[in-house]
Amino acid sequence: MRNLVAVPVILLSVILQSAVISRVYLLSGSADLPLVMLAAWALQEGVDSAWHWAIATGLLVGFISGISWVVPVAGYIAVVVLAYLFQRRVWQAPLLAMFTITFIGTILVSFLSVGVLRFSDVDLPMSDVLGLVMLPGVLLNLLLAIPVYAVMRDLARWVYPAPEVE
């Protein structure tokens, strides 16, 4: 029953990404709301369904985007792996972990996208990719990190309530 909450949350994040967030540009970069949402969800204590969320979100993003579906699935699974590692190591500073995972995850997904595009014989100058796409995308994702983390923390507390102490 707890996993059913994933359906509306994933659909809402992908719809918001495709309709609103992807239209907000800084230079040529845009934010990746599903990536930030997955990072925030995987950092919550007691959450055990982040793997399912990553695969479902990656497949849905791959379906609606122009890039191969392998890129979002692999990138989002890597973000969940990073979140689990950070949750065990940096648990006293969840916002620091959120910023770090968002930064690393954005860079990773961007490099995966560039790698797939270069493999498809698309000529992309790395200086332009770094300066005009990746770094603005990182900045926009970091701006989304705090509000998305707060929403996902509240959702996780609602879905996985703490046991009551008598």
Q: Which pLDDT belongs to residue 165?
A: 62
Q: Which pLDDT belongs to residue 143?
A: 93
pTM over 0.85: yes
Regions of the chain where pLDDT drops below 50:
none
Beta strands in 19-155 (DSSP E): 25-26, 29-30
Q: Which pLDDT belongs to residue 50?
A: 84
Q: Which of 2, 1, 5, 21 has the alpha carbon at shortest distance from 13?
A: 21
Cα of 158 vs its chain's centroid, Å: 21
Q: Which of 147, 74, 134 has the alpha carbon at shortest distance from 103?
A: 134
